[in-house]
Amino acid sequence: MQPLLLLVAFLLPPRCGAGEIIGGQEARPHSHPYMAYLQIQTAGQQGVCGGFLVREDFVMTAAHCLGRTINVILGAHNVSRQERTQQHIPVLRAIRHPGYSEENLLNDIMLLKLQNRARLNRFVRPVALPRSQARLRPGALCTVAGWGRVGQSRGGSDILRDVQLRVQTDQSCSGRFGNVYKAQTEICIGDQRERKAAFRGDSGGPFVCNSVVQGIVSYGDGTGTPPEVFTRVSSFLPWINRTMRRFKQQ
């Protein structure tokens, strides 16, 4: 049976009120200085996604977070406030992976070229990319952060939350999502025995292991029940580096 992909469900309309990651806790303020909050406008509708700074002029997110216009907020903890640490930067150009598929969310990765470079400080700092295409082992415990909701019908605060999730075997996701799951470019995340997961509004957020981003929140079954599927960042290093070189800083 075709799984319910969260192409829309992981995009959270701001008027619903951003909530929290399921099973997580409030993040220590500015402990994830790479985090980006994306305000997305498209066809008269608004939505939000997560993202993360990878260079002072580039944010990475999920390809399904594309909109007509995107505004990035860096340095935020509470996105409902105008914190002095925040930097609001419009996106100059959104660059989806050329192999992205809206049907099955294959190659769900996008780079956002910022109109202005971020001012780097202790509140705003890029996260490191993987240096190789080595795969994470099942059982590895890493962190996801975001402003997504805690449940199907629950809202929450606008404060950044984080949660630790474990890498699962590829079989755990291929058994759940069938041939939609692609082990070469995706990671299976979240223990089904634990009520911990990314959810609506967390799309595009980073899965960080030992200060290196390894995954991007992509899709699940629509209920916030693990495991879920994240885009495997290391599989896209050639495209990432090639794309960012094209916009080399002057």
As annotated, the active-site residues are: 64, 108, 203
Report whether 231 contacts 147 (CB < 8 A). no
Buried b (16+ CB within 10 A) or exposed e, 60-95: bbbbbbbbeebebbbbbbbbeeeeeebbebebeebb
User: Parallel, antiparallel, or unpaired: how do β-strands 35-42 and 69-74 relate?
Assistant: antiparallel
Report whether 111 contacts 58 (CB < 8 A). yes
> 113 exposed, middle or buried (CB, 10 Å; 0-12, 13-18, 19+)?
middle
How many other CB atoms are found less than 10 A from the CB of residue 245? 8
